[in-house]
Chains A and B, each alone.
Chain A
């Protein structure tokens, strides 16, 4: 049913349709509406779940870990500092191979404290073994949460999935989107059947100490599963299309790149702005396009190489930076080209940190600079006068 809906409440409703049994909640801007939406559903009896108001994000993640380990589908959401606080639990959940879906409202990290959008928060956990999906618009926000449970709980995967939506831009933006029906979701998403769980009728021990003789294989297993997910994620997108009638999800989305001379690679809501800029430039005769990454982990190396093999100039646009090196997406993408016969010119650009506005002009700047000298990491729309602030001692 088509609805004019705010992104956070769209998450809450999509998650409600997935029938979680335990939801843990801790507020942090800008994801708070998600847990508030779920709280209201529970209070009105529309969602039959245990709603646990925990005392920190570390406990929010721990509580859903315990719930999934007991065989019940669970959900929580966080952002920025909250995600950083629960980092050790994030690694723990993936390490224990517990399926879970977590919504991350991407937001800048302290210090300085800033509540607006960029993607630095999720980048801190990109090594954790979680499957990381990025939504461009509110329709994708809805669809990816539903697909996330299906991907996560499949016995061939059993890895947690994080759905990333840009803070404020998607969480507080309103768009028209189709909210599926309960029947559709029930058809697509079967009940959670754990591979192992805490059950007094079949006791087992989870979370053992692994000595050097044993630990390594647990990590290798996750790596192999991430590789298997590269095939499984598109399969789930195909199943989704059969039930819901639209293309949604998968690894990448190519927009006007067939004959493009310049392509921007990006993730999240910024792709919407880039698509509009591409349309404008195309109308002026420029051959440009954008490759959207929907899945960031596992890194869809082959899909990217297939899409970009004939593109001479590639710009990576990232809303995050690995300080002291380049942006994470740039690092991942350039390494994909190692050993290839044809290596395009690849430049890296960082925009929009701390919610700095990204306009079509910003994107046009990127295409312009891409024509010039190759750069590894150039920041767009930087204010020189602020950089010159100094603190002299007495």
Chain B
């Protein structure tokens, strides 16, 4: 490929083994060069666009922390006005904080108005760019700096906000979860999403070696374990109907927790592990994850 056509270039300053760096690259390569990216503030934007260096080979705009949904709505409307929307993809992307917390309003408005935009959430389960703080997508009992473990705490006391369900409730035609554990599935979902007209949402599980406390080389192992324990269900909602569920032979949640420093305090707390196993079991039931013999 001639150098200018590379859509995501090396030289960016992500940590080695960063899950988000892998996923962001796979997303833009699946979407192709006729794509405009609108990105909220977060790790991705910071490590790919430090002036004067940019890793992006497609048009890219970063505005603020919470408004990718709204800026993308403006970009898409402008393309419609110019008669150029056909054949141009618009992707609004953000981390979990920028999607589920501060960015939720703008996304909700964009979904409700029916813009032809793919929204992507890089879910590394905390505000990583600012140093590992708890977000609405931080899982139960995760150790973050604003939900730390301590004499009276096992970490984050809340469950993940069900953003895919919220997206589905808006009546948008395509919602999916994906993971860097399965790169071809991720790219297929991106390609499928952009072939559908209207608002789409893909939430991608991206391990963060620094925040989750594991080696960079373990990124794929950790991502796989999340899926295999049922803690991160992989599925699609096509026009609101559950489809494309990734079936698993469920492993006990310890197989996932023991890989990461952010959960190591639980290995001496069987009561907490039981609660987390319940979360996994509920997911398995709700999405029909179990592979029948």
Contacts and interface: CB of A to CB of B under 8 A. Distances in A.
Most buried by B among A56, A74, A203: A203
Interface in A63-117: 63-72, 74, 88-89, 92, 96
Contacts of B52: 208, 214
Contacts of A96: 63
A204 interface: yes
A128 interface: no
A162 interface: no
Nearest to B48: A205
Contact of B78 (A48, A62, A67, A210): A67
A59 B78 contact: no
B45 A209 contact: yes
B59 A71 contact: no
A26 to B, nearest CB: 10
Contact of A203 (B56, B64, B113): B56
A53 interface: yes
Nearest to A22: B77
A13 B72 CA distance: 27
Interface residues of A, number: 44
B35 interface: yes
A72 B66 contact: no
A209 B46 CA distance: 6
B57 A54 contact: no
Interface residues of B, number: 44
B62 A55 contact: no
A52 B77 CA distance: 8
A54 B70 contact: yes
Interface in B59-88: 59-64, 66-67, 69-82, 88
Contacts of B46: 209
B81 A22 contact: yes
Contacts of A209: 45-46, 49-51
B253 interface: no
Given A69-B75, A70-B75, A71-B82, A55 B105 contact: yes
A52 B81 CA distance: 12
Nearest to A213: B51
A377 B50 CA distance: 46
B278 interface: no
A55 B112 contact: yes
B61 A207 contact: yes
Contact of A54 (B56, B76, B80, B109): B109
Nearest to B68: A62
B71 A63 contact: yes
A48 B77 CA distance: 12
Contact of B51 (A22, A199, A210): A210
A50 B77 contact: yes
25 contacts: A21-B82, A22-B81, A49-B81, A54-B109, A55-B112, A56-B106, A58-B67, A59-B69, A59-B70, A62-B67, A63-B74, A63-B77, A66-B74, A66-B75, A68-B74, A72-B81, A199-B59, A200-B58, A203-B60, A204-B60, A205-B54, A206-B61, A206-B62, A208-B50, A214-B52
Interface of A: 21-22, 24, 48-50, 52-56, 58-60, 62-72, 74, 88-89, 92, 96, 197-200, 203-211, 214
